[in-house]
Structures are given as structure tokens and as C-alpha cells.
Amino acid sequence: MKMKKEHTLACDILKSMDIAVLKRTAPRTYELFGSLPDFYCDMFSHETGQPSRQPWTLSPMLSFFLEDAESFFEQKKTGTLASSMWQEDGKTTKDTALISIAATYDEHQVLMIRLLRDYQERVAGLRHARTQALKNRNLSSKLEYYKKKSRIDDLTKIFNKATFMDLLKDEIKRSIMLDYSLALLIIDIDNFKRINDTYGHLKGDAVLEKLGRTLSDSLRQNDIVARFGGEEFVVLVPQLTEEQSFNVANKLREKIAGAEYGDIPGITVSIGYTLYTPHETIESFIDRADSALYSAKTNGKDRVCPGSVSSSRFAFAPG
């Protein structure tokens, strides 16, 4: 009886917060959970007036997010995955927006849809951020634009340091606005001077070019990859937990070590990573990742080390 009352109370709280919950029972199959807030019944109901268990069929933006949510669930990831805020034509007002969150709680997988009220300024800010992000990240269609502005590294054909710093500022603002995590990885090629001295600078350039291509091919479309200078690269990855950040870094380390670089054997990298701490400066964010990289270098190279706010239990060196 007590558990039933607690369940009812939890459902009432979610409803009062304008949060609709759908419980995942199978791939792309969901059941409505608890009491539904009024906005859901208004926006996501059939012509019969019955609330839909497939709201993504009535919302292109939600349909787009569902693909990411299903991948999140199928990989049995823990924690949460949040969409961007969006507005539904003819359904939301200029002062309201929607956001969806995929979450795993113990064995339960749920999709939540929330109505955000009085968010006109944040929606406008998000639209601006989204526009800027699309301009910055759509590398294939905007390549000439960035070349004219000297925004692409000539050798590796990925972003250069100046572009990365601009994108980093935008991404930090966006992560604060939408309350999601941001991981920074700094990657350095081990013994690169010896590669240049032994095989020549042209072969060294080929290694840099191959490594930039490997990084780009190994990450998601919205992740940001740049050459930071010399043999150093940076990767900015949103919406990862600390453990997921380590896993991404270590998979990159393994993929780079397993790639072929012509007649140059044994290419390895050291990687330092950290998560953004709210209100810290960009300089502090980069310094913490750089300190982690220094730890990886001084502790034997070819390894991943966490920054100061990350748990040392995720430090890894090949056996």
C-alpha cells in the first residue's frame, strides 16, 4: 500500500512538472506511464482523442531523437541522453519549447518528454547556437567557407586550433544552457621527433594526415576534432559520462595503434581527458586535460589518463 502511494505521488510530481513518461518494453515499443500532463494530451493524441504511444510519428524532431535514444538503449548505456530543445509548429507557443530525455534506471528504460515554459530567450539562444554549430560542423558542404577563412588545417583537413577555440566557447555555452556534460581529449603522438628524424618530415606529415583521418572517421558527426599544433590533436565530445569518456579515449588509442602508416611501425599516442566543470574558465578546462596528457607521457606513454576531477580508477596502460 505504501509503495502504491509512493508510485502515485511520483506520477503526480512528474505531471506537475509537465513531464510525460513512456516506458520502453521492446525496441521502438513504449507504454504510457502514470498520469499524463495536459500538454501531452493536446500535442500527441490521435484523432480519436487517445494519447499516442508513438509520439514520434507526430513530431519530426522527436522522430530524429528516437534514433539516438534507441541506440542508447540497445547499447545498454546507463545515465541519460538529452535532445536539443525544439518547438512544434502550431503546438508550442513562442514562450514554450520541448525537450526529450532517454534514461535508464536500474532495469527500466524510459523516454521522457517535457514542456519547458517561459523559455523564449533560451529557445532563441539555442536557435542561434544550433545555426552556428551547423555552420561550424558541416565540414563537407562548408569546406570552401572555412578554407577562405583559414579555418581548416591544410595538412590534416580537420579544424585548426583557432577554429577549435571558437567552437569550444560555443559548445561550453550550449552545454551550460542544456545542462549536459562535455569531455575534452588531448592526444599526442608518442616519439614523433624520432619519427621525423628517422623517416623524414614527409613521412612524418603522412602520419599526421592519417591520424587526423582516423580520428574523424572514428567519432560521431557532432563530435569536434582539431589539430591543436604540431603532433597534438584535440577532441570535444558532448553528453558523455566520465566512464564513457575514458572508453572513447581508449578506443581511439587502440584504433590509432592498430592503423597502418606505410613502412613506419609502432605508432602510438598518449591521451589525457577531463570533463568540463561548470563556471571554470576555458584555460582551466584545457590545462586539466593537458596535465592528464603529461601524466600519460611521464608514466610510460601509449596510455589514457584522466584529469584532476576524474577518478584515477579509469587510468589505463596496455598490458
Residues marked active site are found at 231
Q: 165 is written with which cell numbers?
A: 577555440
Question: Do 188 and 231 contact (CB within 8 A), yes or no?
Answer: yes
In 3D space, the residue among 250, 257, 208 whose CA is nearest the CA of residue 229 turns out to be: 208
Question: Do 186 and 228 contact (CB within 8 A), yes or no?
Answer: yes
Beta-carbon-side half-sphere exposure of residue 113 (alpha carbons within 13 Å): 30
The Cα–Cα gap between 288 and 309 comes to 8
In 3D space, the residue among 213, 212, 318 whose CA is nearest the CA of residue 266 turns out to be: 318
225 burial type by CB count under 10 A (0-12 exposed, 13-18 middle, 19+ buried)? buried
Q: Which residues of 71-96 are buried (b: 16+ CB within 10 A; e: fewer)?
A: ebbeeebeebbbbbbbbbeeebeeeb
Cα–Cα distances (Å) from 281 to 255, 277, 287, 294, 307, in that order, read 31, 9, 10, 20, 15
The Cα–Cα gap between 120 and 123 comes to 5
Instruction: Please list the residues that pair with 314 across neighbouring strands.
Output: none
CA dihedral over 276, 277, 283, 286, signed as positive or negative:
negative
